[in-house]
Structure 1
């Protein structure tokens, strides 16, 4: 009987799924990659200039037609590239940030890496062009 019990115990142990270890990050710095986040002047620095990964910033306004068309394309592209974060800034509500980065036309999309603007474009772009822009900066991670 002990032999059967031992054999049954060994066989069930072998059937357990392997333990996968999750990559841990500092508790105060949650990973926001692959997500779209609305920022304010209070959260902009922590989300963009102090980020430890590439960040795409969408400068937009609620009244801007091209902004409304571009926003979903950016969100979809970033969701498919989990190495970057999309941060949206409403320039009407955050004029100081728009002024700091010299935003003169909408929509303006800027890529940040290590707290610096490394690339940007102004105006509407097609889906494949947006995807290419996001992928290019996701590869920097």
Structure 2
């Protein structure tokens, strides 16, 4: 009986240690960014990041957002960062966002690919998958 108790305790301790991390990973998730958090979430990320530049009044943005969220959730090597250009005009100006929606893929802190306008589900999935493979 003593052996069984010891064996039952060990995996729990190993499990807790194996998932300990100083900084939580956001891969596979959708995160809302601000001017204050953009650099940490995007340009200093250690994995590919897809950035959705959007506005609340933009109809195509409202249609594209759920497609991006679904695609990123199924590709856990990337993070989707959404940034409202009306609330964060400095970021929009820095990346020359002239039309919405604009979706940019960042890798190692730099824009490596982007598209402007609405895309269908398979095209969004292909874009996300292409950049997930860069990690």
Specify if TM > 0.5.
yes
Q: Please name the residue that 2:76 is paired with.
A: 82
Q: Please name the residue that 1:48 is paired with.
A: 42
Deviation at 1:51, TM superposition (A): 0.5
Unaligned ranges ≥5, structure 2: none
Q: Which has the larger radius of gyration?
A: 1
Q: Please name the residue that 1:91 is paired with.
A: 85
1:36 aligns with 2:30: yes
Q: What does residue range 1-141 of structure 1 map to in structure 2 within 5 Å?
A: 12=4, 16=8, 19-20=14-15, 22-25=18-21, 27=22, 29-141=23-135
RMSD: 1.8
Q: Report how many aligned residue pairs link the two structures.
A: 131
Deviating runs (4+, > 3 A) in structure 1? 12-21
TM-score normalised by length of structure 2: 0.88
Unaligned ranges ≥5, structure 1: 1-7
TM-score normalised by length of structure 1: 0.85
Deviation at 1:30, TM superposition (A): 1.8
Q: Distance in 2 between matches of 1:123 and 1:115?
A: 23
